[in-house]
Chains A and B, each alone.
Chain A
Amino acid sequence: MDKFAVLQFYALLKREVLEHRNIFIGAPVVVALLLLVATIWVAMQIDQSQLAEGLLFVSVLFDGLSPFDMAPFIMLLAIPFYLTLYVCSVIYLINTLYQDRKEMSVLFWQSMPVSNLQTVLSKIVAIVLVAPIFYVLIIFAMYLIAMVWLTILGISNDVDLVGIGYLFLAAIASLVLIYISAVVTGLWLLPSVGWLLLFSAFAKKTPLLWAAGVLILVGFLEDFIFGTQFLANWVASQTSDPNQYLIFEFQSVFERVFNYDTLFGIVVGSILIAGAVFMRRFTD
């Protein structure tokens, strides 16, 4: 790939971040602020001696332990971010191609020497690979603020925070796992990504209604004609198991990606994405 093509793709990603600042940055910042405020408020409600005991417990808990062993516990703190990313991704994917047509800016984007494939791929890369980077950076900033606050609390309550360094390392390790989890989830949910993009490119109005409606209709027809519920079961298996979304250890990445279900999903997702690229040709 030549240098210009790389810079071109970078510009497409930058465009996505600029256009959807609220999804990439605004939403996780709000979640981080809410969590910090809630934590500080809870700490203020606790008695000084209990707080000191709690600080000591947290500090000692992580002392001397491997950061990656403890990272899964810290990951649980990131669940609100995970849910936010999930909801934001659905909003982003269903609106991104539709919005261009709605506000007619599609005529500008398509008047540039950028292919529909590049455009659609940039949107997938933006939400699957780039958005989690922003989320992880914001979680990192939140952890930093929390560490400083804990340290101040420790000093002011005369508590020796012996294990706080380990706690911080475990937090950093959890960020790596959070990012990997988000990306692997993106691959796992590629059929959903493709489905939403397809209707974002296709629908003249209410793309979410179209995406949900057609899915329900196809499932109903399958049941009515063949008497089977393959689609319904498959969608349920894709979306209902929370274990699919979190990876607590590096060793499980390979088996999560290279298994029949994920690879089948990647194939289905790719076909749906190809459909979205095709539909993107039509601007009216």
Chain B
Amino acid sequence: MSNIVEAKSLRKNYGSFTALDGVDLTIPKGAISGLIGPNGAGKTTTLKALIGLCDVDGELSVVGRDPRISRHKLMEDVCFIADVGILPKWLKVSHVIDYVEAVHPRFDRKKAEKFLSTTDIPANKRIKDLSKGMVTQLHLALVMAIEVQLLVLDEPTLGLDIIYRKEFYDRLLNDFYDGNRTIIISTHQVEEIETLLSHLVFINKGKIVLDSSMSDLSDIYTEVLVDADKLEQADALQPIYVRKLLGKNSYTFESVPREQLKMLGELHTPSVADLFVAKLKEEKHG
């Protein structure tokens, strides 16, 4: 199984609102994949569909299973952290650990306790008495102690301060990711995860607008700070996005050979954030 996620023509409507409009998605095993999109783009619906938490039409296989048929079996191989503090507020920290230990066959209690011992989270406190950062740390401790193939993170650091956010991703990379496990992260804070990603997916209005490995991005997309006297030549090469940057003109091109572009000015690989804006503007303007 080289792909951990294979989705074809996923569709989902909430009344008259189309959340997913024929999503095709392939995520290879071992990838750290970023699912990026504006609010209401269909990120959460996609992630929920992957773990069987919402019904969708279309073909879907996650870790070789159809999440719509065998969610509970699938969850032996998949973990999920959502954007909202979803740990039950009335539970004590020790109760959550007891519960996960009892229901998850691949949970290693010692690992979770070892992780928690490096935090300030007291075992006898209720979830409602913990800060949002602590709740996320606790959830991460639980997830990292489970031997799973796929981790799905939906805006996991939303509302956390910079220290917690940084620590979260450091822990994720150092203590969870081993090259074989796959991580799918949906976030608004693109800059924070840019360096972690091996795979990038942009979604907008329920459609995938980009699905590429990070290594391919630099081959496909080029940002050029075009010299003032070369603007006409640059326009002729049909950039997907143009903007003013510190008095210069920044052009983003798709699938135009670098050889052809280097005479226009200084070349860069666009950042994920810039590329995201470029692709969304391109969508908007057709």
Residues of chain B lying within 8 A (CB to CB) of residue A283: 48, 53-54
B91, A111: Cβ atoms under 8 Å? Answer: no
Contact A108 B73 (CB under 8 A): no
Collect the chain B residues with CB atoms within 8 Å of residue A110's CB.
51-53, 71, 75
In the complex the two chains form, is A114's CB within 8 Å of B89's CB?
A: no
Per the 8 Å Cβ criterion, residues 25-81 of A in contact with B are none
CB distance from B135 to the nearest CB of A (A): 11
Stretch from B96-104, B228-236, B261-269, B275-283 at the A interface: B96-104
With A282-B55, A283-B48, A284-B54 known as contacts, the answer to whether A108 contacts B87 (CB < 8 A) is yes
B84's nearest neighbour on chain A, judged by CB, is: A104
With A18-B95, A107-B82 in contact, is A112–B90 under 8 Å at CB?
no
Tell me which residues from 92 to 118 in chain A have a Cβ below 8 Å from any Cβ of chain B. Answer: 103-116, 118
Report the interface size class on chain B. 20 to 34
User: Is B79 an interface position by the 8 A CB rule?
Assistant: yes
A202–B75 Cα distance when bound, in Å, is 23
Q: Name 17 extra pairs, CB < 8 A, besides A104-B82, A112-B75, A114-B103.
A: A8-B103, A11-B98, A11-B103, A12-B103, A14-B102, A18-B95, A19-B90, A19-B91, A104-B86, A105-B86, A107-B53, A107-B84, A107-B86, A110-B52, A112-B104, A113-B76, A283-B54
Task: List residues of chain B with CB within 8 A of the CB of A113.
Answer: 72-76, 103-105
Please give the residue numbers on chain B whose beta carbons come within 8 Å of chain A beta carbons, in ascending order.
48, 51-55, 71-76, 79-80, 82, 84-91, 95, 98-100, 102-105
Contact A114 B86 (CB under 8 A): no
Using an 8 Å CB-CB cutoff, how does the interface string of A259-284 with B read, 1 for contact, 0 for none?
00000000000000000000001111
Residues of chain B within 8 A of A104, CB atoms compared? 82, 84-86
Cβ of A15 within 8 Å of any chain B Cβ, yes or no, is: yes
List the 6 closest pairs (A to B, CB-CB), nearest first: A11-B102, A115-B72, A105-B88, A111-B80, A107-B86, A113-B75
State A105–B89 Cα separation when bound (angstroms).
8
Interface string of A191-219 (1 = CB under 8 A from B): 00000000000000000000000000000
Residue numbers in B under 8 Å from A111 (CB-CB) = 51, 75, 79-80, 86
Decide yes or no whether A4 CB sits under 8 A from chain B.
yes
| A17 and B55 alpha carbons, distance in the complex (Å) | 31
By the criterion CB–CB under 8 Å, are B103 and A112 in contact? yes
Closest to A10 in B: B102
Residue pairs across A and B with Cβ atoms less than 8 A apart, 11 shown, are A8-B102, A107-B80, A108-B86, A108-B87, A108-B88, A112-B103, A113-B74, A113-B103, A114-B103, A115-B71, A116-B71
The one of A114, A116, A281 in contact with B55, judged by C-beta atoms closer than 8 angstroms, is: A281
CB contact under 8 A between A19 and B88, given known A111-B75, A111-B79, A283-B53: yes
The residue of chain A having its C-beta at the shortest distance from the C-beta of B80 within the complex is A111
CA–CA, A118 to B75, complex, Å? 14
Chain A residues whose CB sits within 8 angstroms of the CB of B105 once the complex forms: 4, 113
Bound together, the chains give a CA A6 to CA B32 distance in angstroms of: 36
Shortest Cβ gap from B96 to chain A (Å): 9
**Whose C-beta in chain A lies nearest to the C-beta of B95?**
A18
| A83 located at the interface, meaning its Cβ lies under 8 Å from any Cβ of chain B in the complex | no
Interface centre among B75, B85, B88, B98 (most CB of A within 10 A): B88
In whole Å, how far is B156's beta carbon from the nearest beta carbon of chain A?
Answer: 12
Residue of chain A at shortest CB distance from B101: A11
| Residue picked from B51, B100, B102, most chain A C-beta under 10 Å | B102
A7: B residues at CB distance < 8 A: 102
Task: Evaluate contact between A18 and B75: CB separation under 8 angstroms.
Answer: no
Chain B nearest Cβ from A236, distance in angstroms:
37
Q: Separation in Å of the A136 CB from the closest CB of chain B?
A: 25
Smallest CB gap from A19: residue in B: B90
Distance of A18 Cα from B74 Cα, bound (Å): 27
Nearest CB of chain A from residue B105's CB, rounded to whole Å = 6
Q: How far is the CA of A283 from the CA of B71 in the complex (A)?
A: 13
B48 and A18 contacting across the interface, CB-CB below 8 Å: no
Collect the chain A residues with CB atoms within 8 Å of residue B86's CB: 104-108, 111
Complex CA–CA separation, A67 to B48 (angstroms)? 58
Q: B51 contacts which chain A residues (CB < 8 A)?
A: 110-111
- Minimal Cβ-Cβ distance residue in B for A281: B55
Query: How many Å lie between the Cα of A111 and that of B105 in the bound state?
Result: 13
Q: How far is the CB of B182 from chain A (nearest CB, A)?
A: 16
Task: List A contacts of B72 (CB < 8 A).
Answer: 112-116, 118
Residues of B within 8 A of A118 (CB): 72
